């Protein structure tokens, strides 16, 4: 979809999360799509204006096939879904970060979606000895195999954001990398707002190939190419 501005339809998985919220702000402020559907496990309170601008489909991810209608008729699907092993346990992490994502991608494709944008992670590799990176590698491969016209995989490094939920290791990494980012801005981290702007950029101008994998530095470059709101 080279020119989404003002028309078309998209859905967002994970709109209540750090990246998802930043993405939703971008989508609404830029009015990129005529129809924006948030697919999540709970209804979100977004304020009157935003709530009027989006549709919300509350789904049971354990019975996703019963919610095919939520994935019907979208041009673009954004996936910022994810949990942690600490939060969900090993099996729960695999279920959310791989199985829910792949099932949603399949339903979206069946519903006519042409461009799927998946937020994965730096280092994703299905052969990795680390569960997190292995599952990210697996989900990348499985989503690619769904056969979208365009599939864009984002591989951000550590996300810089203001998270309310307590994730001590991530908090320490963010504090440290926030300082490092002043010297090496694109090397080890990326603000969620930059990721969101890069997602907008890639939808407006998808690459030539069917599958595109964007590493952290490219995410920074793409994010910078889209003017910030209010500038
Ligand atoms: N944190 C990092 O530094 C980092 C770096 C690289 C890549 N990533 C990846 O980037 C993606 C987005 O990360 P983020 O930090 O922006 O996400 P986040 O803030 O943790 O939000 C995750 C989203 O997934 C949803 N979710 C979680 N568990 C769920 C479940 N069991 N059923 C249904 N929905 C569920 C959440 O919904 P609720 O609000 O309902 O819980 C929320 O919308 C993740 O895949 C993550 O692994 C993260």
Quote the ligand 1 centre to 79 CA distance (angstroms).
9
**What is the best residue among 13, 16, 17 to mutate for testing ligand 1's pocket, by most ligand atoms within 8 Å of CB?**
17
Q: Is the CB of 78 under 6 A from ligand 1?
A: no
Average pLDDT of the residues in 9-28: 97
Is the model's pLDDT at 158 over the cut of 80? Answer: yes
Q: How far apart are CA 73 and CA 188, in angstroms?
A: 37
Closest CA to 157 of 211, 96, 198, 104: 198
DSSP β-bridge partners for residue 215: 155
Domain spans, the chain: 9-225
Tokens of 122: 């730096």
The architecture in CATH of the region 9-225 reads: 3-Layer(aba) Sandwich (3.40)
Higher pLDDT, 230 or 39: 39
What is the set of active-site residues?
132, 136
Q: Which atom of ligand 1 is nearest to the CA of 192?
A: 16
Q: If pLDDT is split at 50, 70 and 90, which confidence band does 66 have?
A: very high
Dihedral sign for Cα atoms in the order 173, 175, 178, 179 = negative
């Amino acid at each position: 979809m080279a020119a989404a501005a003002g028309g078309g339809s998209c859905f967002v998985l994970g709109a209540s999360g750090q990246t998802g919220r930043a993405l939703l702000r971008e989508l609404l402020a830029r009015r990129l799509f005529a129809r924006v559907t948030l697919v999540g496990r709970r209804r979100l309170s977004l304020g009157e204006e935003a709530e009027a601008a989006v549709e919300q489909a509350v789904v049971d991810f354990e019975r996703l096939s019963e919610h095919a209608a939520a994935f019907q008729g979208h041009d673009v699907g954004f996936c910022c879904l994810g949990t942690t092993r600490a939060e969900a346990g090993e099996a729960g992490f695999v279920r959310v970060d791989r199985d829910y994502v792949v099932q949603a991608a399949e339903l979206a494709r069946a519903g006519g979606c042409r461009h799927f944008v998946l937020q994965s992670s730096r280092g994703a590799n299905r052969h990795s000895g680390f569960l997190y990176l292995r599952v990210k590698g697996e989900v990348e491969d499985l989503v690619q195999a769904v056969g979208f016209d365009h599939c864009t995989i984002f591989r951000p490094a550590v996300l810089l954001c203001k998270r309310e939920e307590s994730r001590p290791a991530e908090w320490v990494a963010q504090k440290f990398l926030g300082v490092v980012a002043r010297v090496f801005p694109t090397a080890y981290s990326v603000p969620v707002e930059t990721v969101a702007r890069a997602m907008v950029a890639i939808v407006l101008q998808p690459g030539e190939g069917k599958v595109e994998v964007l590493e952290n530095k490219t995410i920074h470059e793409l994010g910078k190419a889209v003017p910030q709101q209010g500038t």
